[in-house]
């Protein structure tokens, strides 16, 4: 399957995650400096959730929500992608590959970037490009 760029058609899609008393709101393609606000970090179950972007191994690109651990140098624990049909799929979904319409060879080895960059000690990120290594 050829690489695709879903970002133009999914920009502005909204994901609201209910986390007990708080609803976490993410907007696909949100301005890198606008959300989340550092005074209202989106933390849940010891993870920090950030707006971001994923580039699959085949070069396809998606707006995403990235979950990292602020306690251990930015270990990446969660990836969720905004799909063109309006859905949101996480890597934990058993139908992850089929919802993307991709094979594991086309997906894995993907890289990610997130914003704002909270963790100056995240050794997974190339600070010149912002992408994971």
Tens of pLDDT, residues 78-96? 899 999 999 999 999 999 9
Q: Which helix (H) or strand (E) holds 49?
A: strand 47-55
Model confidence, pTM = 0.81
- Residue 127: band (very low, low, confident or very high) from pLDDT cuts 50, 70, 90: confident
The dihedral over CA atoms of 114, 23, 87, 108, expressed in degrees to the nearest 10, equals: 30
DSSP codes of every residue in 12-36: T-EEEEEETTEEEEEETT--TTTSS
Q: How far is CA 33 from the centre of its chain?
A: 16
- 30-49 core/surface letters (b: 16 or more CB in 10 A; e: else): beeeebbeeeeebeeeebbb
Q: What is the pLDDT of residues 106-124, one digit of tens each?
A: 999 999 988 766 555 666 7
């Amino acid at each position: 399957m050829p690489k695709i760029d879903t970002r133009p058609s999914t920009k502005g899609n909204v994901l609201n995650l209910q986390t007990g008393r708080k609803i976490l709101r993410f907007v696909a393609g949100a301005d890198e400096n606008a959300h989340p606000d550092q005074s209202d970090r989106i933390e849940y179950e010891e993870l920090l959730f950030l707006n971001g972007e994923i580039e699959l191994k085949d070069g396809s690109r998606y707006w995403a929500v990235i979950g990292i651990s602020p306690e251990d140098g930015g270990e990446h624990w969660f990836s969720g992608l905004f799909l063109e049909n309006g859905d949101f799929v996480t890597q934990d979904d058993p139908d992850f590959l089929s919802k993307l319409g991709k094979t594991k060879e086309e997906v894995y080895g993907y890289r990610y970037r997130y914003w704002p960059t909270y963790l100056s000690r995240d050794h997974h990120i190339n600070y010149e490009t912002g992408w994971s290594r």
